[in-house]
Amino acid sequence: MKIAIISDIHDQVANLQWALEEMRREQVEHVFALGDYCSPYIVERLGLVGVPVTAVWGNNDGDKVAMFKAVLADKNNSIHFKKGVFAEVELAGERYFITHYPLLAENAALSGKYRAVFYGHTHEQKKEYRGDTLTVNPGKLALYPNSLVSFAVYDSEKNDVKFVRKK
Protein backbone atom coordinates (compact mmCIF):
# COMPACT_ATOMS: atom_id res chain seq x y z
CA MET A 1 0.00 0.00 0.00
CA LYS A 2 1.23 3.49 -0.84
CA ILE A 3 0.43 6.20 1.71
CA ALA A 4 1.14 9.89 1.14
CA ILE A 5 2.45 11.75 4.19
CA ILE A 6 1.76 15.48 4.09
CA SER A 7 2.32 18.21 6.66
CA ASP A 8 2.56 21.94 7.24
CA ILE A 9 0.53 23.22 4.29
CA HIS A 10 0.09 26.71 5.78
CA ASP A 11 -2.48 27.85 3.20
CA GLN A 12 -0.22 27.19 0.21
CA VAL A 13 -2.88 26.33 -2.37
CA ALA A 14 -0.51 26.00 -5.34
CA ASN A 15 1.81 23.66 -3.43
CA LEU A 16 -1.13 21.59 -2.21
CA GLN A 17 -2.43 21.31 -5.78
CA TRP A 18 1.02 20.16 -6.92
CA ALA A 19 1.11 17.56 -4.11
CA LEU A 20 -2.37 16.24 -4.99
CA GLU A 21 -1.33 15.80 -8.62
CA GLU A 22 1.84 13.99 -7.55
CA MET A 23 -0.18 11.75 -5.21
CA ARG A 24 -2.39 10.73 -8.13
CA ARG A 25 0.70 10.06 -10.25
CA GLU A 26 2.16 7.94 -7.43
CA GLN A 27 -1.17 6.09 -7.10
CA VAL A 28 -1.40 6.53 -3.35
CA GLU A 29 -4.22 4.67 -1.63
CA HIS A 30 -4.36 6.68 1.60
CA VAL A 31 -3.11 10.02 2.94
CA PHE A 32 -1.90 10.88 6.43
CA ALA A 33 -2.25 14.64 6.98
CA LEU A 34 -0.21 15.89 9.93
CA GLY A 35 -1.55 19.35 10.68
CA ASP A 36 -1.01 23.05 10.08
CA TYR A 37 -3.64 23.44 7.35
CA CYS A 38 -4.58 26.97 8.48
CA SER A 39 -7.84 27.52 6.55
CA PRO A 40 -11.03 25.64 5.70
CA TYR A 41 -10.45 25.90 1.95
CA ILE A 42 -7.24 23.87 2.36
CA VAL A 43 -9.05 20.93 3.97
CA GLU A 44 -11.78 21.21 1.33
CA ARG A 45 -9.18 20.75 -1.41
CA LEU A 46 -7.19 18.09 0.45
CA GLY A 47 -10.35 16.04 0.99
CA LEU A 48 -10.97 15.81 -2.74
CA VAL A 49 -7.82 13.77 -3.41
CA GLY A 50 -10.01 10.73 -4.10
CA VAL A 51 -8.60 8.42 -1.41
CA PRO A 52 -9.18 8.30 2.36
CA VAL A 53 -7.37 10.96 4.38
CA THR A 54 -6.64 10.47 8.08
CA ALA A 55 -5.84 13.83 9.67
CA VAL A 56 -4.56 15.16 12.98
CA TRP A 57 -4.29 18.75 14.18
CA GLY A 58 -1.14 20.83 14.38
CA ASN A 59 -0.34 24.02 16.23
CA ASN A 60 -1.41 26.34 13.40
CA ASP A 61 -4.84 25.25 12.20
CA GLY A 62 -6.98 28.36 12.50
CA ASP A 63 -10.72 27.83 12.85
CA LYS A 64 -11.18 24.11 13.47
CA VAL A 65 -14.98 24.41 13.66
CA ALA A 66 -15.05 25.97 10.19
CA MET A 67 -12.80 23.18 8.93
CA PHE A 68 -15.14 20.51 10.31
CA LYS A 69 -18.11 22.27 8.71
CA ALA A 70 -16.30 22.47 5.37
CA VAL A 71 -15.55 18.75 5.44
CA LEU A 72 -19.07 17.80 6.53
CA ALA A 73 -20.71 20.05 3.92
CA ASP A 74 -19.19 18.12 1.03
CA LYS A 75 -20.26 14.48 0.82
CA ASN A 76 -17.33 13.75 -1.53
CA ASN A 77 -14.75 14.92 0.99
CA SER A 78 -12.70 11.98 2.26
CA ILE A 79 -11.02 13.51 5.34
CA HIS A 80 -11.45 11.86 8.71
CA PHE A 81 -10.16 14.13 11.46
CA LYS A 82 -8.99 12.46 14.63
CA LYS A 83 -9.92 14.22 17.86
CA GLY A 84 -6.49 15.37 18.91
CA VAL A 85 -2.89 15.94 17.94
CA PHE A 86 -2.04 12.28 17.45
CA ALA A 87 -3.67 9.07 16.29
CA GLU A 88 -3.00 5.37 16.15
CA VAL A 89 -4.04 4.11 12.73
CA GLU A 90 -4.36 0.52 11.57
CA LEU A 91 -4.22 -0.16 7.85
CA ALA A 92 -3.86 -3.53 6.18
CA GLY A 93 -2.99 -5.15 9.50
CA GLU A 94 -0.18 -2.73 10.35
CA ARG A 95 -0.14 -0.10 13.12
CA TYR A 96 1.01 3.46 12.49
CA PHE A 97 1.29 6.53 14.69
CA ILE A 98 0.68 9.99 13.23
CA THR A 99 1.17 13.36 14.90
CA HIS A 100 2.27 16.89 14.24
CA TYR A 101 4.75 16.92 17.10
CA PRO A 102 8.30 15.47 17.08
CA LEU A 103 8.42 14.65 20.79
CA LEU A 104 5.22 12.60 20.61
CA ALA A 105 6.61 10.84 17.54
CA GLU A 106 9.88 10.01 19.26
CA ASN A 107 8.12 8.52 22.27
CA ALA A 108 5.77 6.50 20.04
CA ALA A 109 8.70 5.17 18.01
CA LEU A 110 10.61 4.18 21.14
CA SER A 111 7.58 2.20 22.35
CA GLY A 112 8.12 -0.34 19.58
CA LYS A 113 4.34 -0.65 19.05
CA TYR A 114 4.25 0.78 15.51
CA ARG A 115 5.61 -0.19 12.13
CA ALA A 116 6.14 3.47 11.28
CA VAL A 117 5.68 6.87 12.92
CA PHE A 118 5.03 10.08 10.99
CA TYR A 119 5.27 13.67 12.24
CA GLY A 120 5.65 17.26 11.01
CA HIS A 121 6.12 20.67 12.68
CA THR A 122 9.83 21.27 12.01
CA HIS A 123 9.39 21.78 8.23
CA GLU A 124 12.44 19.55 7.65
CA GLN A 125 12.56 16.21 5.87
CA LYS A 126 13.87 13.47 8.08
CA LYS A 127 13.98 9.68 7.95
CA GLU A 128 15.45 7.48 10.65
CA TYR A 129 14.89 4.21 12.44
CA ARG A 130 14.30 3.85 16.17
CA GLY A 131 14.91 0.17 16.60
CA ASP A 132 12.67 -1.45 13.97
CA THR A 133 10.33 1.56 13.75
CA LEU A 134 10.65 3.87 10.76
CA THR A 135 10.24 7.53 11.78
CA VAL A 136 9.59 10.15 9.10
CA ASN A 137 9.01 13.87 8.77
CA PRO A 138 7.82 14.51 5.18
CA GLY A 139 8.93 18.14 5.10
CA LYS A 140 6.44 20.89 4.30
CA LEU A 141 4.33 22.53 1.65
CA ALA A 142 4.82 25.91 3.32
CA LEU A 143 7.17 28.45 1.75
CA TYR A 144 9.32 29.01 4.81
CA PRO A 145 11.92 28.78 6.26
CA ASN A 146 13.38 27.70 2.88
CA SER A 147 12.19 26.96 -0.64
CA LEU A 148 12.20 23.15 -0.36
CA VAL A 149 8.62 21.94 -0.81
CA SER A 150 8.00 18.24 -0.26
CA PHE A 151 5.89 15.38 1.02
CA ALA A 152 6.63 11.66 1.39
CA VAL A 153 5.20 8.49 -0.10
CA TYR A 154 5.37 5.51 2.23
CA ASP A 155 5.48 2.00 0.74
CA SER A 156 4.09 -0.41 3.33
CA GLU A 157 5.54 -3.46 1.57
CA LYS A 158 9.07 -2.09 1.83
CA ASN A 159 8.52 -0.15 5.08
CA ASP A 160 10.31 2.77 3.45
CA VAL A 161 9.56 6.23 2.10
CA LYS A 162 10.61 8.34 -0.80
CA PHE A 163 10.51 12.11 -0.63
CA VAL A 164 8.73 13.88 -3.46
CA ARG A 165 10.22 17.34 -3.97
CA LYS A 166 8.82 20.20 -5.99
CA LYS A 167 11.25 21.52 -8.57
Whats the size of the chain, residue-wise? 167
pLDDT for 52-87, tens place per residue? 999 999 999 888 888 878 877 777 778 898 888 999
The confidence band for 24, taking pLDDT boundaries of 50, 70 and 90, is very high
- pTM of the full structure: 0.95
Share of the chain above pLDDT 90, in %: 78
Query: What ranges do the domains of the chain cover?
Result: 2-165
| Alpha-carbon gap, residue 33 to 138, rounded angstroms | 10
Share of the chain above pLDDT 70, in %: 100
The pair phi, psi for residue 44, each rounded to 5°, is: -60, -45
The confidence band for 14, taking pLDDT boundaries of 50, 70 and 90, is very high
* CATH superfamily name and code, 2-165: Metallo-dependent phosphatases (3.60.21.10)
The confidence band for 128, taking pLDDT boundaries of 50, 70 and 90, is very high
By C-alpha distance, which of 5, 34, 52, 43 is closest to 101?
34
